[in-house]
Structure formats: structure tokens, C-alpha cells
A and B are shown apart, each in its own frame.
Chain A
Amino acid sequence: MADQEIKMQFGEVAGRFSDSALKVGNPKMTIEGLNFYYGNIQALKEIDLDIEKYNVTALIGPSGCGKSTFLRTLNRMNETISGTRMEGIVRLDGVDIYRDIKDVSAVRTRVGMVFQKSNPFPKSIFENVAYGLRVNGISDKSIVRQAVEETLHRAYLWDEVKDKLERSAYMLSGGQQQRLCIARALAVRPEVLLMDEPASALDPLSTSKIEDLIGELKKNYTIVIVTHNMQQAARISDFTAFFYEGRMVEFGPTTLLFTKPVKKQTEDYITGRFG
């Protein structure tokens, strides 16, 4: 298939969700000069990026290019791995989340995360969603109950689980478990939601449910999503950043990046020449 045709296909798909939400110049998070090291190996090199508020920013690139590592620097989850080092600044609403916020919990309750393979706790559905509230000091039964109900609604899961809240989360299907994890992350009312290939382990039907959910969520949240599925990135994101070997090669509005990429590397990746 000729390159031109491929880009046109992306052009048709891209921007399906992103029409009205494209508000530039209102960054929720800014990343400046980010370098990241696993021991002696440098995984991220001089990343500069703005994450726009109430938009979906997709991170694409071949496997091993550092997108997941980058995602984890946005909520300081990289600190759970020993032997790592970070340079640069990550700001949330202008505040340096590494140097200006003492308690890491305060960052993670504002920047939530959903993981690649769903990872519910071995607890009931209710307790999974309530977990974030409980560990952050909210114990009032009625508040918790209300919050759980509200977020399960938000995650398009309430109808399917409303009469089995006490059952183990492991009884749910893969797609339901992932939506449960999304509800769990939303329960602490974050402002940003980081999603690391949230649908890669799911069947197409569940995947499209989650994509619809993301389209709905971005009205109230800022979303950053890592995906290796370019069509998905083109479908649901407003902005796309292309990562390659630890560098961010190109960043821009999704429609533009997929139809008129500036860098040759981007074009090669999009047209399937590698990766």
C-alpha cells in the first residue's frame, strides 16, 4: 500500500473524537529535559513535552523505546524500582512533582494509573474500588459507598456488577476487570489518568468499550495513553508523541502527525517500515 494511502486512511480515522476538545496552550503537565537511567543505561533522553488539559495524549513507538518508562515518571512510580535515576523537571499545574511535593501520595492521588494487564486486588469488587479512599483516610461508610457507586457508573461497569459487589474481583472477565481497575483509579478523583496499553490484552469488543470510555472520560480528565496500536492512537487521541530509542522524535496534533509527519522516522514508523 502506498504511503500516501496509508496516511489518508489515518487521516479519516484521526480526529474522530478530538474535534472540539483541542484546546492548546493549557498544559496540565509539562516535562522539561527529562533524562532517565536504569543504573548505567539511559532509557530516556532529553524529553520535552506538554500534556494538554482535557485532552488525550497518545505515546506511540516500537517496543522498548521508553514510552512506559516515561509514563511512570509522570506519577513517580519509577521510584518503586531501585537503582534508577532521573534528571529534569516534571510539573503538574506548574508545580514540580519531584522537588516541590514532599509526600509522593499527594502526587499519585492526582495522577492516577491503569496498567497493561489488569491487576485487581484479591478482594471484593467493592473493596477494590474503595481501596484508594481507605488508604487516603476516608473511612465514612456512606461516603465510600457513594463514591464506589459513582465511579463504577463512570467506568461503564455499574450495571454489570451492581448485585455482586461483594464477590471477588477475579470472577469478572478480562474486560470487566480492566474497567474495574479504571474505576478503582478514578475513585480517588485524580486530575490526570495515565493508561499503559490498557486494552492490549483484551478482545476487540472489550477494547472498543474501553475506547468509548476514554472518549467520555476526557471531558473531565486529562489522559495520557501508551499504545502500540497505531490505529487506536489515531482513533482516540488528540495529540500524539512518537518515541524512538528513548527520545521523543515528534509531537503534535494527532491528525497532523499521522497525515503529514515532519520527521522521516515518524513517517517510516507510521507506514509500517519498522516496529
Chain B
Amino acid sequence: MNFYNFKPKSRIRDFIVEKFIMLNALTALIVILLIFIFIFKESIPIFTNHKVQQEAGLDKLIFKQQYYQGREPKWSWQPNSDVPKYSLLPLFLGTIKAAIVAMLFAVPLAVGAAIYSSEFAGRRAREFIKPIIELLAGIPSVVLGFFALIVLASILQSLSGFTYRLNAINAGIALGIAIIPIIFTIAEDAMTSVPQSLREAAMALGANPWQISFTVVLPAALPGIAAGIVLGFGRAIGETMIVLMASGNAAIISGGFTEPIRTLSATIAAELAEVVFGSAHYNVLFFIGTLLFVFTFFVNLGGELVLNRLKERLQGRSK
């Protein structure tokens, strides 16, 4: 029997291809860095350019300003008035209000549904609930914004007689619908990851399903549920289209939720189209973008840390 004399393999070509693959794999990392660099870059004039600082320096973004002689100093966001006003406070307030409404609406529903799915539902019910949540997650935010603007606002107004049709509650509820899937998915995942051995120990002591859930599963999965809530909150802060369409877009300061609001993200979307390239307004909008990026960056980092730690702990116990 003769043996083959195979040609030696081309090491150079393999090497080049592997390096090419590695370079592509670094894209995600490079992009995150680039996003920060290029967004922050356009907001630097706020800190360095004297002319920009007179209009929109950091102090003018944070503190009350006296815009007109003889009038009280106040916080106000009106970049296009004759005296441009750049206080971020109304925008922060609007963002928080919408997020609060969204969380109050979404968390009980999402966590409740997750508990049902993980602890009470049979296999068939679970296989029904999962696609429902995925469908909900698949609704584009512009569609939810449309729905809130056209349908939900009218319903709410006729139910409650709000003065303003578009307000924080309207946008908040639609926002809540948008974040239910993410809270549900993470919470349900955390609960189903609790090892069977823990449940069986409780069962062997005579506990019924709810007792097992309440005393064993929920406490064990709590960090995961909390992480899901936090990540949902992060998503609510950054969401744009829903608030842009359904919140009334008024940058005012008030304590009520039945008035229109303006959020940070909606501000960017609404005003970037007409802003003059390189103006102070332009810089401030990019600065707001930087704030949003940094905030969601840390929220995501924190949430991921908690989830990883939880996974390790649960898997450790099951051994």
C-alpha cells in the first residue's frame, strides 16, 4: 500500500485569515470606545470654548439662571428663545417622571408574570407565554409611540379628565409596555435557574408550590430580579421614540404627572434636526447624549456584574 505525500498546509494564508477574524471580533470593543469619543468630542466646547461657555457652560446647565433683569432666577430649557436657556433640570425631571410611571406600571406586571411562568405555569402555558413576551418585545418603539399618541391618550383622557392629552402618565404607560419584556426575561431566567435540588429540599419538607416560591426561589433569585428591574430602568431612561411622540414635549418643571414633559433623549431627537452645526446648542445636545451613554453604560455594567455573580452562586450551590 502506498502512502500519500500530502502538500504541507499554507501557514501564511491561515495566519492572515485568523488575524482578519480577530480584527473583526474587536469591532464591538472599538465601537464602544468610538461612540464615547465621538459623542464626547462634540460636547467638549462646553468645557473649553469661552464663547460657548457664556451661553451654555456647565454652570448654566446646572444652576438657576437669571435670564431677564428684574425677574427671578429660574431653571428653564428654551434654546431657541432670544435669550437661550439651557438648564438641564426640566429634562432630568421629565426623564425621571416618565421612568417612574413606567416602572410602577411594568415591574408588578413583569415580575408577576415571571413568577407565574416560573413557579405556577405548566409546560404548555410556559410555551405560550414565552412567544407572547417575545412578540411584545418585537413591537417597534415607534409603533408604541403611535399607539400612545393616537389611542391611549384618548382613552386616558376620557377615563380621567386630564387637562393635557399628552403627559407623563401617557408616555410612562407606553414606556412601561416597552420594558416589560426585558424585566420579565431576566427575572424569569433568574428564577428558573434556581437549582432543582433547593426546590426538592423544600418539597420534601412538605411545602406547597407557593411556599417553595416565596421562601426558597424568590430569595435566591432576588439579585437577578433586581438586576432585571435595574436594566429595565436603564432602558426606560434611554428610550426615545415613545416619549417623543406621546409625552407632549414641554420642558417644564412641575411636580405633577398629568402635565406634559420633555425627556433628555426626546430633546436630542426633537432638536437635532434644526440645530446649527457647531453651535452651543449643538454642543449641549451632544453633551446630553454623553450623559445618557455614560449612565446606561454603568447601569449595564452593574446589572451584568450582579447577574454573573448570581449565576456563579447558583451553579456553585447545585454542585
Does B associate with A?
Answer: yes
CA distance A106 to B8 in the complex (A): 8
> Quick one: which of A101-149 are within 8 Å of B by CB?
103, 105-106, 109-110, 136-138
Contact across chains for B3 and A191 when beta carbons are under 8 A apart: yes
Q: In the complex, which of the residues A137, A188, A191, A220 contacts B7, with contact meaning CB atoms closer than 8 Å? A: A137
Q: How far is the CA of A191 from the CA of B2 in the complex (A)?
A: 10
* Chain A: CB-nearest residue to B7: A137
B284-302 contact mask (Cβ, 8 Å, vs A): 1 or 0: 0000000000000000000
Q: In the complex the two chains form, is B6's CB within 8 Å of A109's CB?
A: yes
How far, in whole Å, are A257 and B3 apart by their CA atoms in the complex?
A: 34
Instruction: Give the residue of A105, A138, A189 whose beta carbon is less than 8 angstroms from that of B3.
Output: A189
Which among B1, B4, B8 is the interface contact of A188 at CB below 8 angstroms?
A: B4
State in angstroms the CA–CA spacing of A189 and B3 once bound together: 6
1/0 per residue, CB under 8 A from A, across B1-28: the answer is 1111011110100000000000000000
* Chain B binding surface, main DSSP class: loop
Which residues of chain B are within 8 angstroms of A191 by Cβ–Cβ distance?
3
- By a CB distance below 8 angstroms, the chain A residues around B7 are 136-137
A109 and B11 alpha carbons, distance in the complex (Å):
17
Q: Are A137 and B6 in contact (CB under 8 A)?
A: yes
Contact B8 A136 (CB under 8 A): no
Q: Which residues of B contact A136 (CB under 8 A)?
A: 4, 6-7
CB nearest to B2 among chain A residues: A189
Interface residues of A in 83-111 (CB under 8 A from B): 103, 105-106, 109-110
Residue of B nearest to A220 (CB): B1
- Check B8 against A189 for contact (C-beta < 8 Å): no
Encoded as 1 (CB less than 8 Å from any B CB) or 0, chain A from 147 to 182 comes to 000000000000000000000000000000000000
Return the CB mask of A214-227 against B: 1 if under 8 Å, else 0.
Answer: 00000010000000
Interface centre among B1, B2, B4 (most CB of A within 10 A): B4
What is the bound-complex CA distance between A220 and B1, given in angstroms? 8
CB pair A138–B4 under 8 Å, yes or no, is yes
Tell me, in angstroms, the Cα distance from A234 to B15 when the chains sit together.
47
Compute how far the CA of A103 lies from the CA of B10 in the bound complex, rounded to whole angstroms: 10
Query: Is B8 within 8 A of A103, CB to CB?
Result: yes
CB-CB under 8 A from B11, the residues of chain A are: 103
Measured between beta carbons, the chain B residues less than 8 angstroms from A188 are 4, 6
* Chain A nearest CB, measured from B272 CB (Å): 48
Chain A nearest CB from B18 CB (Å) reads: 15
User: Which residue on B lies nearest to A154, using beta carbons?
Assistant: B1
A-B contact pairs, 20 of them (CB 8 A): A103-B8, A103-B9, A103-B11, A105-B6, A105-B9, A106-B8, A109-B4, A109-B6, A110-B3, A136-B6, A137-B6, A137-B7, A138-B4, A138-B6, A188-B4, A188-B6, A189-B1, A189-B3, A191-B3, A220-B1
Nearest 3 CB-CB pairs, A to B? A136-B6, A137-B7, A189-B3
